[in-house]
Structure formats: C-alpha cells, structure tokens
Amino acid sequence: MAPPAEGPADLVVVGLGHVGLPLARSASAAGLRVLGLDVSARVASGLGAGRSHVGGVSDADVTAMLGQDFRASTDPEIVCGARTVVLCVPTGLVADGGPDLAQVEAATSEVATRIGPGTLVVLESTSYPGTTEEVVRPLLEKGSGLVAGQDFALAYSPQRIDPGNRKWGVENTPKIVSGYTTDCARRAVAFYSPFVKDIVLAKGTREAEMAKLLENTYRYVNIALVDEVALYCRQSGIDVWDVLHCAGTKPFGFGRFVPGPGVGGHCIPVDPRYLAAEAERQGFSFRLLDAARQVVDAMPGHVARRALGLLDEHGVRRDGARVLLLGVTYKPDVADIRETPARGVATVLAESGALVTYHDPYVDRFHVGGTALPRATGLDEALTSADLVILLQPHACYDLGALGRLDRPLLDTRGAVTGRFVTTL
C-alpha cells in the first residue's frame, strides 16, 4: 500500500464501501485531495494497489484516484487536519431486529479526538431521525472538546447509491443536505456543490434523516403490495405480469413495482426497521410497516414451497431432488449478497431434503446457515443435471430464451422467461 500523502486532506472518507468509495472517487475527480479510512487492511491495501472491491468503481477509477493523490489507510491519524470528514460506515440490525449503530459510534469516537476547529463532519450513514444530533454530536463534542455549530460544523446528507445503476451516480443524483445549524448547512452545501449537480436543502437533520427512511420504506411497502397481489392472482388464475404491464401504461398516478422472492441489499430490508423501531420508542405504531414486513418476510418461504410443489407435480421425490438456484445476489448484475432472499429459499429447500446448488457469476462463495452451498461453475451442465431450476435473479449473462426451452421445470420468480415447463410466482 502506498504511504499516505503528506499534509492534511480536503476530505477524509471514513468507510470505503459501496457508499464511501464512489463518494471518494467523485470528490477526487473534482480536484479535492481525498484520503480514505477503513478498518479493513485488505480493503486499504487493495485500493493502494489499484484494485476496486466495489461494483460501479473500476480498477481504472481507483488508479485515476491514486494519480490524484488519493490514499487509503487503516490509521485514523489521517483525519488530523482534514477540512471535511464524511462518515460512510454501515448501519445494520442487532439480533432482535433493532438498529445497530455500533460502527457509527465507533467511527465517530475515532474521528472526535482528531478533528479541530473549523472541521466539517458529515454523516451519510442511514439511520433514524435524531441520530446526527443525539448520537453523533455528543460523541464528537465529548471527544474533541469542541462545540458543534460553533467550533466545528455538523451535517447530515443521506447516501443515495444504487449499486449497478449506470444512469444515476453521485454526480447526477440530487443530494439532500442538512445542517445542525444554518451555517453548518451552508458549509455542507459548499462542500458537495463542486461534484454534485443538484443540491436539495432540508429544513434540518431530522427531516433529511426521515426523507431517507421514507424513500426506502415507500419501496418496501409497495413491493409488499405487489407480492401479495401476485399471490392473490395465482390463486385466482390471473396473470399478474400482464396485470402489471397493463397498469404500468398509465402515465400518471401509478408507480410500477414487481413481485419477487423477497427483498435484499442494505437499504430495503433494513431502513423500514429503523423507522419502526424509533417510532415504537416514541409510542407510535406503523401498522402498515408491520403488515408489509409479514408479506415480504414470507416470500422466500413461499418460493421454496412453490418449488417443492413443482417437484411433486413432476413426480420427483423431494428428498434428494437436485435444485439449481440461478442468481443468488440481491439484485441483477451486482456482486452483493447482503440480506439476499436466496438464503431463505435455500434454507427451506435444504430442510426438505433437496440437494441445492447455485450458479452466479458474481458470487464465488455462498453460505447458508454456516454451510457453503455447492457452486455450479458450468451452467449448461448444471441446467441439464437439475431436477428443478429456480431463477432468482435474471443476470444479463443468462440466456432467457434458452431457459424457456429447458425440458425440465423452471420456477421464474421475476416474470422474465416463457416456455412449456416455466412456472411463475
């Protein structure tokens, strides 16, 4: 790994994952002197050698960043003297499904002892309303001995990264920006403006935090709606995909969502739980979220039971049946298995005695319940040896026409394949 550049940085990005690395790339391309801090030595050394670990950021992008004096490190001392520090660390769920801010708190505490007067600190990690002012601010003030809004600036700007989306990125996706004070907001707008086209100024940090949760909760609820519509249509003998096509032709008042085996990724399965947990703490119940969660959480099991029913229909014993999962990432054409519904599908199938394998060009290893699922490397051979194929993600590499011509049952969870032996949700 190349040594850190001499002197303080214009920007230190804390957390070089799916959010932090694209931000660092955009800021570096705009001429800012950027350093990156990550807890992973593997990530830091890989970036130092010009290797990207994030989809959407190429090795060539990283090489260009290095040429602009970008350096990645595991040493928090690189924060010292930085004009701006942006926290892009993950937020997840604890065992009982509640918010897990451990990485935000740890990163904030590390940063706090190394910021100085005039530093701008921005939180981009997704969390519930109040996190910036009630969690991050006290930690920064305690560790630094400085006062937010007076000695240093504090802001919140929710990330809007969509992995695999080639149309919308950091530069052209409108950026919500908020500040602890009016001057903090002004500082944050000035920081993002050189490399983000459109800035949307929120009234305050709570409004910006809530806006992020609303964006993904909106998707969560509507996905649950079309999932349940799909289940009803199947029971009633209605083609749900034709229904969605017809409804989607309305040029106003209808946003198209599609059913599937469940939701995955960092945002959709997690963010609504942050909202529900914070609301519950305040004595408010999001009844619609509870209903949506019941539907969404049940979808992987529904897909697995549907698959087992197909085995029965085709006279194949469940015990020992060879089932092939196509695409185990949480969305097409991304190398990301966070919260993927494929795990739930595989778990139910395996518990029923099926021999489950998977094919996915983006995933070298896939664990289910602590056990590595066998990976098929040759697609043609895997298809011809399977008793049942389940299409979970229609990666671009899959020939959908060829899948439709298979002479064995195929369960299509995405409405992408037609054929004699094809069954949809």
Say what the pLDDT of residue 266 is. 84
Strand partners, 280: none
Phi, psi of 134 (to 5 degrees): -100, -20
Question: What span, in angstroms and rounded, lies between the C-alpha atoms of 336 and 283?
Answer: 35
Instruction: For residue 420, give both structure tokens.
Output: 């004699």
DSSP one-letter code for 103: H
Say what the pLDDT of residue 3 is. 41
Q: Which amino acid is at 372?
A: A
Dihedral (CA of 55, 57, 60, 62) sign: negative
Q: Which of 352, 359, 390, 398 is nearest to 377 (CA)?
A: 359
Say what the pLDDT of residue 8 is. 83
Say what the pLDDT of residue 1 is. 38
Say what the pLDDT of residue 6 is. 62
| pLDDT tens digits for range 241-288 | 999 999 999 999 999 999 999 999 988 999 999 999 999 999 999 999
Global confidence as pTM? 0.92
| pLDDT tens digits for range 363-388 | 999 999 889 999 999 999 999 999 99
Say what the pLDDT of residue 164 is. 86
Burial of 171 (0-12, 13-18, 19+ CB in 10 A): middle
Question: What span, in angstroms and rounded, lies between the C-alpha atoms of 227 and 225?
Answer: 5
Domains and CATH numbers, the chain: 11-205 (3.40.50.720), 241-424 (3.40.50.720)
Say what the pLDDT of residue 102 is. 97
Phi, psi of 424 (to 5 degrees): -105, 170
Query: Which ranges of the chain have pLDDT less than 50?
Result: 1-4
> CB-based contacts of 229: which residues, under 8 Å, 6+ apart?
240, 243, 259
| Catalytic residue of the set 88, 184, 267, 397 | 267
For residues 124 and 175, the answer to whether their CB atoms sit within 8 Å is no
Question: What span, in angstroms and rounded, lies between the C-alpha atoms of 390 and 346?
Answer: 10
Q: Which of 124, 123, 135, 133 is nearest to 99 (CA)?
A: 135
- Helix/strand/coil for 375: strand
> Chain centroid to CA 232: how far?
29
Asked about 267 being catalytic, the answer comes back as yes
Helices and strands (DSSP H and E) totals, the chain: 14, 17
